[in-house]
Every structure is written in C-alpha cells, then in structure tokens.
Amino acid sequence: MNNDKKIFGIAATFKTPDEIINAAKKVSSSGFTEFDVNTPYPVHGMDKAMKIKPSKLGFVTLVMGLSGASIALLFMYWTMSVDYPMVIGGKPFFALPAFIPVTFELTVLLATVSTVIAMIALFFRLPDNKHPLHDTDYMKSVSADKYGIVIESTDSKFDEKSVTDFLKNLNPLKIEIIYYPPEDSYPIFQPKFIIFLIVVAVLVSGGTYITLNKLLYTVPYNFMMDQDKLNPQKPSELFADGRGMRTPVEGTVARGFMPYPYTGQTNPPEVLANPYLPTKENLELGKSKFLTYCSPCHGNFADGDSRLRGQFPNPPTLHSTRARDFSDGMIYHIITNGQNVMPSYASQITREERWAVVNYIRVLQRAKNASDSDLIEMKKETGSNVTN
C-alpha cells in the first residue's frame, strides 16, 4: 500500500446477487451518490437499489432530432424559396409535403447518430484506456463470478477509514483500495516512435512518388496521355514545322466539292450549261435562295430595287434585254465568280442551289416579259379571256 498514491475508491466484493443488491441498497440509503456496482451480468432490481435516476440521454435525442428537422426545413426553404426559387410542376416554392421525406431522414439521422456518440463519449466517457479499475483484482473477479461495489473518493461523504468500516459491516468477501494509476509518459512522444513515424512517412511518400512518376513511365509502358498529339494552343511535337496538320497535296479536291475552273474570267465558255430542269422542287429551292441571298440588293422580283438604301451600289434590273439574253451559264458564272462590285456567292450557295437560282431568275424574267405564245398557252390552260 503506497500512501503517496491518490485513492480512486474503495471496493468490496460479494459472493451472491442478493448480497450485492442488499449492499447497493445500504450504500445508496446511507447517502453515498458517487458509487458504482460491477456484476458479471445485469442484475435485476439494481437500478432501484442504487436509486439511479432515469438517464438524461433522451434529451440529447430530442434536441438533436429537433435540430435535424429544423436544419432540413430551413435549408430547403432557403435553397428552394430564397436562393434559387424554381417552379417545379406548378407547386409553391415552399412545398411542405415534398419536403417531408428529407426532413424525416435528417431528423432520424441527427437524433440517432448523436445519441450514440453522446452515450459513448459524454455519458460513458469512452474511450478511456486509463480507468483506475482496469487491471485490478477487483475488476478481474467481478467480470468472472463475483459482485462488487466501489465507493469513489469524489463522494462528499468519502473518508478512507469510515468507508472501509462501513463496507466491512456489509460482510464482503474482500475489501480493496483502488488507486489512480501512475501518470506515465505517452509512448507516442518518445523519440524512437517519432523517428519511426518519419521513416514510414518518407518511405511511403517516396515510394508513391517513384511509382506514379517514374516506374509507370519506364519502357515498355506507353500511356495514352503521354502520346504525341496535338494540344490546342501548343506546337505539335510530331512534325518538324510544329504544325498539327499537313497542307494537302496540290490539286486536292474535297469530297463532294466541284472546283470552279473559270474564276476570274469575264465570260464562261459555252459548255457551262444548266444541268437542272426547272422542276417544282428546283424552282422552290431557287426561290428560297434568291430571296435569301439576292433579294436584298436585287429586290424580290429582280427589279434592282435594293433594300440596302444606299449602303451598297444598286444593281441593274435583271429584266433588261442584256440580262434576259444572258445564257444560264453566264448568270451562274456571275453568282459563282461575282461581277465588278457584286461579290461571289460560291461559298454561301452550293452548286445545285446556284443553278436553281438561275432557273428562278428565268421564271421572274419570263413573268415580266411574257411572249404572246405564253399568253395563248395560258388562255388555253385556264380558259380565261386574256388579251395583251
């Protein structure tokens, strides 16, 4: 018995459950509050004998459950009604029925998790590796086949002599004084352990670095991300001139693209003939393209009444004899090549569309300068009595 040690409490062991219940009753009714009973299994009636008040753990559950509910509701209210209000299925921004599942989940989550944590950490004060009862003979016997009671030194009525006498009166098997364990320095702060930690850290990080940055790149590994390729805004590493693409071989023609050989010439050769018949579809295509690309300058009916109001020189009418006498190829050439101030439309309008526009211009021209034969044809067809 070392008298310089601090006493944690005085323990008494008993042989039967009846004796321990009796002892607990006596200890509690003598006014001790700081005491505990240790038995190998739960003994019925012990709570009453020890006069234990109901646990306050329920309050933790209640408070945390309520916080869970209000956090969920407030957060959903803030996101859905304040910060980013969005109409979903015509429901109000604060749609309570839709918020119930989340509220319920968060209530249960916070309540249960915090109850368990509070029970273990706050109420049981675990983990506790240095509890004075650890490793005592008392604890060894009460965790096997004996029943024990400890009156702790924190009790206001505690006095070594009187408590020992009091416990002796209860006729125990054994009385044991339990001391606080000596303060020992933590092994974690010992130099050996710190050096060990440093060595492990260096080895792990060095190993990771070498694996990820060197080992994985040794031949024969070839990673896709490491391949030669063209990165945007960077010179290519594949070709000597640093470009990602090669210039096509001279004379290369893109698929589906017909190069126009008469660019720059005033007149196209006569072989340039219209390959498209003025069918209904073709004329509709021509009309739509003419209205889109030509009408701003040439006017909807090719009268030369530009809508550009002097921003661009007015073109001549396409109903002049000159324009009516143009071959189809000539008009096609003007669209493709441009003429004086009129730019080329080859890049905007495809080859077929350009021929369709030519056909449509022919329709416009014929409509404004119908020949007698046209009118007779019309009279025949409609049966109306048209004269010129």
Task: Tally the C-alpha atoms within 13 A of residue 336's C-alpha that lie toward its C-beta.
Answer: 26
**Single residue of 139, 323, 356, 364 touching ligand HEC by CB under 6 A:** 323
Q: Which of 119-127, 129-137, 216-224, 315-323 is the region at the interface with ligand HEC (rule: CB under 6 A)?
A: 315-323
5 versus 322: smaller Cβ distance to ligand HEC:
322
17 versus 296: smaller Cβ distance to ligand HEC:
296
Residue 285 touches ligand HEC, criterion: CB under 6 A = no
Cβ 312 to ligand HEC shortest distance, Å:
5
Residue 318 touches ligand HEC, criterion: CB under 6 A = yes
Q: Which of 171-179, 186-194, 224-232, 289-297 is the region at the interface with ligand HEC (rule: CB under 6 A)?
A: 289-297
Cβ-based burial of 148 (10 A; exposed 0-12, middle 13-18, buried ≥19): buried
Unique residue bearing structure tokens 């016997």:
141
> Taking the CB of residue 27, how many other CB atoms lie within 10 A of it?
25
Q: Which of 124-132, 146-154, 238-246, 313-321 is the region at the interface with ligand HEC (rule: CB under 6 A)?
A: 313-321
Cβ 286 to ligand HEC shortest distance, Å:
9
By CB under 6 A, what part of segment 331-370 binds ligand HEC? 331, 334-335, 339-342, 345, 357, 361
Q: Which of 242, 212, 215, 218 lies closest to 230 in space, CA to CA?
A: 242
**Single residue of 94, 158, 260, 293 touching ligand HEC by CB under 6 A:** 293
164 versus 288: smaller Cβ distance to ligand HEC:
288
Number of residues that bind ligand HEC (CB under 6 A): 23
Cβ 266 to ligand HEC shortest distance, Å:
11
CA distance 61 to 113: 9
Answer left, alpha or beta for residue 21, where phi above 0 means left and psi between -120 and 50 means alpha. alpha
Cβ 284 to ligand HEC shortest distance, Å:
16
CA distance 183 to 35: 23
110 versus 335: smaller Cβ distance to ligand HEC:
335
CA distance 182 to 147: 27
164 versus 306: smaller Cβ distance to ligand HEC:
306
**Single residue of 287, 298, 319, 362 touching ligand HEC by CB under 6 A:** 298
CA distance 159 to 10: 10
Contact assessment for residue 282 and residue 276, using Cβ atoms and an 8 Å cutoff: yes
Instruction: Using the CB atoms, write b or e for 103-136: b if 16+ within 10 Å.
Output: beebbeebbeebbeebeeeeeeeeeeeeebbeeb
CA distance 272 to 262: 10
Residue 307 touches ligand HEC, criterion: CB under 6 A = no
Per-residue contact string for residues 243-262; x = within reach of ligand HEC by CB under 6 A? --------------------
User: Torsion angle of alpha carbons 359, 365, 368, 370, nearest 10°?
Assistant: -80
**Single residue of 11, 24, 150, 294 touching ligand HEC by CB under 6 A:** 294
Summarize as ranges the residues that interact with ligand HEC (CB under 6 A).
293-294, 296-298, 312-313, 315-316, 318, 320, 322-323, 331, 334-335, 339-342, 345, 357, 361
